[in-house]
Structure 1
C-alpha cells in the first residue's frame, strides 16, 4: 500500500507537537519570539515551495530537519520585504501629500 500524499497544508493539524518541538529548539538557540506560524511560513517558502505534495513522515522530517540558518535566512528576507513595503508606503504618502498641497 502506497503512503498517502497530501498537500502540506492538509497535514498541518497533525503537526502541532512537531512544530512546537522546532519552536522550542529555535528558542533555545536565541530566537526568543519565534511562533508556530513563522516556522510554518518558513517551511512553505523555503522547503516546500517546489514540492508541496508529501506524505506525513516526509513533512515531519522536513520540520525536524529545518536548520536555524534556514530560519535566519527566511527572517532576513521577511524584514527586507517589510522595509521595502514600508518605504513604498512612505513614498506613496509623500506623493499624496505633495499632490494635495498643490491642489489647496
Structure 2
C-alpha cells in the first residue's frame, strides 16, 4: 500500500523517531534538545511548505537531520528571541 500524506499529518506516527533523534542530539552536546524541537526544526528547515511524503521518507528525514541544520535552527531562534526580548524591554522602559 502506497500512502502519501502531508508531512504534518504523520506527526502522531513518528513520535519514537523524533524522541530517538532528540536523544542523539543530547548525546552530541545539545542538552536541551526535545522531540518538539526536532519537529519544529524539521518543519522550518527541511519540510518547508508541508510537502507530501511517505512514512519512510519522513522517518528518513528525521534520522538524516544533521547537527549543522539543528544548530542553524537554534541560532536563528535565539536571535529572534533576543530581538523580541529587546523589543519588550524597550516598551516597558517607557512606563
Q: What residue in structure 2 maps to residue 71 of structure 1?
A: 70
Give the superposition deviation at 1:28.
1.1
Higher alpha-carbon Rg: 1
**Displacement over 6 Å in runs of 4+:** none
Q: 1: distance between equivalents of 2:63 and 2:31?
A: 18
Gaps of 5+ in 2: none
Gaps of 5+ in 1: 98-104
Instruction: Check the 8 A contact 2:18/2:35 in 1, yes or no.
Output: yes
TM-score of the two chains, using structure 1 as the length reference? 0.84
Q: What residue in structure 1 maps to residue 27 of structure 2?
A: 28
Kindly tell me the number of residue pairs found equivalent between the two proteins.
95
Instruction: Check the 8 A contact 2:43/2:50 in 1, yes or no.
Output: no
Q: What residue in structure 1 maps to residue 47 of structure 2?
A: 48
